[in-house]
Amino acid sequence: MDTLKEMVQTDATHTIGAAALLGILFHLSIRPIEFEFVMFHFMAGSLLSFGGLIFAFVRLSEYGVLGGFMKASLFAGGFNAGLLSSIAIYRLFFHRCRSFPGPFRAKLTRFYAANLSAENVQYYKELAKMHDKYGDFVRTGQREISILRKSAVPLIYGPNSECLRSTWYGQTGNDPKKCSIHMTRDFNDHRMRRRAWDRGFSIKALATHEPRIKAKADFFMSQLAKSSGKPMDMSAWAIGVEHPAIKGVHSHMAMLGIMSTVPWLLNVLGSIPGAAAGYSEFFSFCAEQIREKHKDGEKIPQDIVSWLLKAVKDKEASASPSPAALEDDSRVVIIAGSETTATTLAGGAYYLAKCPEKQKKLQKLLDQAMPGGYGQWSCDAVKSVSYLDDFINETLRLKPALLTGGPRETPAKGMHVDEVFIPGNTNVLISTHLIQRDPRWWQEPEEFIPERFGEKRTEMGTDKAPYLPFSLGMCLRLPGKNVAQMSQRTSLSAIAQNFDVSFAPGEMGEEFDKEVLDAFTVTLPPIQLQFTPRKRQ
């Protein structure tokens, strides 16, 4: 054993030194590339190299397997020490973002954000603390700046923005031909694919959604009527009866939220065979839905996925480029469409209960538009009640379904946000939750005042305030907003027409208001509400 130790220790310093140097050179050589995308290959390669080193030391020298293993370990240790020290020194002292203030550990690694997020899955609160401490520009990752400036909103998310989607959008895979539109990073590919979605959300297509949304609202009303006056957890009810496959995904949302703070982590896990087994049921469910729709062969597509399928069948340039991409698109429809709509509806019901005078006002206006009651409900009548939209807009201001906008990457030349220059190829993002409550732009920011989107618009300066619950890109301009608006209008008006909403005894709404989880989309704490059938005068 002693001889073995001697053998390994004799030239340990040289081994470690050479390996560390190699580690530094490796770091310098990979700096220009988006290493997140090859992280899995790097890890797999490292393991193979380690095995190869042991083999080489055993075969090419007098070491036994244990000696070879120790020698290889020394080499790997030296390499990693060199690599990590070089990365740390570079990130702290030479990185283009070095002048931005932020927590020390955030400058070194995104695992800092993952750690903060893992504590309570409330990274948005941590972000608020960082902005309080460091100001409007905070370095929240080695190359990530969180910004709280109104002027940054169009620069980062606007239709003419020069920023592109960051590596965060590479989490589900590296192949642009196999991913959903949401994860498509190339500007032109994205624009092309949007055309297929446009058709699914055109005015004509929306007409086919209307009766289906109304039928769902009717069913919801009948369920509320059954439990009339008894406490109900609105957070659970808004999600509705979940298909078991979708339930599986929802139960993993918190974990996804934490892991997605490190852009390459999900990518690496997804590349490990079997690691995504928890989602396999959901994946098969989506694939099955598409197969069924293929068989259906509807002449006029009745829903969004059918429109996407039609584009594939018609071999349009805008079609999802592969079966895998089409399935991923269908997953986006389910997750992006259901989760966001449900949390917004629960938020709306919460504000009906919290602000009885606003509820009364809404009910009065709905009654005026439809004097015959719910039996007289129509889309056009509901649209005429602009206060309903103001109510929904204010709900989305205080309770956006996505608390933080997805990170974007600045163009290589960098960009200015007011007086501050943000270097090129830097990830930038804006906290929707923070900027929509910022007192610099929003009067009485913590108060629920739907009138700020209506008659008090000018007085309260709403048009000049930053507002981006649908981001400023595609969800705002095309798909989500129209459908979301239609379903919010339908369900909220139906609730307000049929029921008086109040907090159940003992419910203060505090936890619902203050303790939401940031799991990419919002996960709501329970809220016990009472829906008492209205006595119409």
- With CB atoms as reference, the residue minimizing the distance to ligand HEM is 480
Residue 426 sits at φ, ψ, to 5 deg, of -115, 140
Give the residue with the Cβ less far from ligand HEM, 406 or 423.
Answer: 406
Binder to ligand HEM among 266, 473, 494, 512 (CB under 6 A)?
473
CB under 6 A: which stretch of 106-114, 138-146, 420-428, 478-486 binds ligand HEM?
Answer: 478-486
Candidate segments 10-18, 23-31, 450-458, 464-472, binder of ligand HEM by CB under 6 A: 464-472
Minimal distance in Å, beta carbon 518 to ligand HEM? Answer: 13
- Residue 22, classed as helix, strand or coil, is helix
* Stretch binding ligand HEM (CB under 6 A), from 213-221, 267-275, 383-391, 473-481: 473-481
Q: Considering only CA atoms, which of 362, 312, 357, 353 is closest in space to residue 497?
A: 362
Q: What is the largest CA-CA distance in the chain?
A: 98
Q: Are 426 and 492 in contact (CB under 8 A)?
A: no
For 507, the token pair is 């419910």
What's the min distance (Å) between Cβ of 401 and ligand HEM?
4
**Distance of alpha carbon 525 from alpha carbon 504, whole angstroms:** 15
Q: Which of 341, 462, 498, 528 binds ligand HEM (CB under 6 A)?
A: 341
Minimum CB distance to ligand HEM smaller for 53 or for 181: 181
Residue of the chain from 78, 301, 450, 469 that contacts ligand HEM (CB under 6 A): 469
Residue closer to ligand HEM (CB basis): 102 or 479: 479
Pairing of strands 144-147, 164-165: unpaired
Helix (H, G, I), strand (E, B) or coil at 199: helix
Cβ 107 to ligand HEM shortest distance, Å: 25
Site string for ligand HEM, 319-338 (x = CB under 6 A): -------------xx--xx-
Contact call for residue 401 and ligand HEM (CB under 6 A):
yes
How many residues of this chain bind ligand HEM (CB under 6 A)?
A: 24
Edge to edge, what strands does the sheet with 144-147 contain?
A: 137-141, 144-147, 427-429, 408-409, 164-165
Could you tell me the smallest distance in angstroms from the CB atom of residue 240 to ligand HEM?
14
Answer left, alpha or beta for residue 173, where phi above 0 means left and psi between -120 and 50 means alpha. Answer: left
Sign of CA dihedral 59, 62, 68, 72: negative
Q: Which of 348, 338, 357, 358 is nearest to 234 (CA)?
A: 348
Could you tell me the smallest distance in angstroms from the CB atom of residue 349 to ligand HEM?
A: 14
Q: In sequence order, what DSSP letters do the residues of 242-290 get, joined into one string?
A: --HHHHHHHHHHHHHHHHTTSTTHHHHHHHSTTTTGGGHHHHHHHHHHH
Tokens of 110: 């995104």
Stretch that binds ligand HEM, among 118-126, 254-262, 423-431, 474-482 (CB under 6 A): 474-482
CB 448 within 8 A of CB 456: no
Asked if 239 is part of the footprint of ligand HEM (rule: CB under 6 A), the reply reads no
340 binds ligand HEM (CB under 6 A): yes
Q: Does 213 bind ligand HEM (CB under 6 A)?
A: no
Smallest distance from ligand HEM to CB 335, Å: 9
Tell whether residue 286 is a contact of ligand HEM (CB under 6 A): no
Q: Applying CB under 6 A, which of residues 131, 139, 182, 397 lies at the interface with ligand HEM?
A: 182
Tell me which stretch binds ligand HEM (CB under 6 A): 347-355, 401-409, 493-501, 522-530. Answer: 401-409
Stretch of residues binding ligand HEM (CB under 6 A), selected from 127-135, 202-210, 232-240, 468-476: 468-476
163 is in an annotated binding site: no
> Which position among 15, 146, 344, 462 is part of the footprint of ligand HEM (CB under 6 A)?
344
Asked if 350 contacts 512 with a C-beta cutoff of 8 angstroms, the reply is: yes
The reply to whether 130 sits near ligand HEM by the rule CB under 6 A is no
Q: Which residue lies nearer to ligand HEM by CB, 432 or 462?
A: 432
Of 142 and 341, nearer to ligand HEM (C-beta) is: 341
Residue showing tokens 């590479």: 170
Secondary structure of the chain: what % helix, strand, coil (to 5)?
Answer: 60, 10, 30
CA pair distance 328, 431, nearest whole angstrom: 26
Cβ 211 vs Cβ 379: under 8 Å: no
Do 102 and 130 contact (CB within 8 A), yes or no?
yes
**Distance of alpha carbon 73 from alpha carbon 95, whole angstroms:** 30
* Binding test (CB under 6 A) with ligand HEM, winner from 406, 423, 450, 466: 406
3-state SS, residue 422:
strand
Question: Do strands 420-422 and 415-417 pair parallel, antiparallel, or not at all (unpaired)?
Answer: antiparallel
Which residues are near ligand HEM by CB under 6 A?
Answer: 181-182, 304, 332-333, 336-337, 340-341, 344, 401-402, 405-406, 469-471, 473-475, 479-480, 483-484
List binding-site positions: 475
Residues annotated in the binding site for heme, as ranges?
Answer: 475
